[in-house]
Chains A and B, each alone.
Chain A
Amino acid sequence: GAVVSQHPSWVICKSGTSVKIECRSLDFQATTMFWYRQFPKQSLMLMATSNEGSKATYEQGVEKDKFLINHASLTLSTLTVTSAHPEDSSFYICSASFREGSSYNEQFFGPGTRLTVL
């Protein structure tokens, strides 16, 4: 299957700082990338859907000014957690897909980034 990478794999930062997470599709062009968040013992939750060249669509309850998503190319999407706080500590996962007609093709997931905010 296709490969999606994330960088960094883990990050520890101080409260109030901003953290950028990169998601790259290594061997295919991803028209759509998804960002998920998983808190301990909870299901994976979709945060936002990002289509190349357009603004991301955020799920209800996700602050777009806090979680900045940029999808400037078909192989790279970034998630920036601005002014991070301890409650933002979580496992962030991206996935990449491309659309065929009206349906999404298979999603390929990155390995995830564990963020710990002190």
Chain B
Amino acid sequence: QVQLVQSGAEVKKPGASVKVSCKASGYTFTSYYMHWVRQAPGQGLEWMGIINPSGGSTSYAQKFQGRVTMTRDTSTSTVYMELSSLRSEDTAVYYCAIKDSPYYYYGMDVWGQGTTVTVSS
């Protein structure tokens, strides 16, 4: 079955970077775009960006431009999301998600389990 498995929780100091991974299985990795979404404690969902695993092209939310980088490794079916210059407001659960079809604009129906990133001095 289609599955996304994310890396474990991270604790980082302000100003550092974090790199979260999302390993895909159960489908052809290069067929479906992958989104990253985060959720701060007690807050709503925030879309960060999307990557096309086939060619590696990306599109980021304006808020994260210059601070986020999404990459992929087709040999391991893994997508990475790196966020730099961390501040306390980046403390959140980070999710990867896909639409289990080529129509990536029709929502996200498969989600990773989430990775908690805590930014604290």
Q: Do A and B bind each other?
A: no
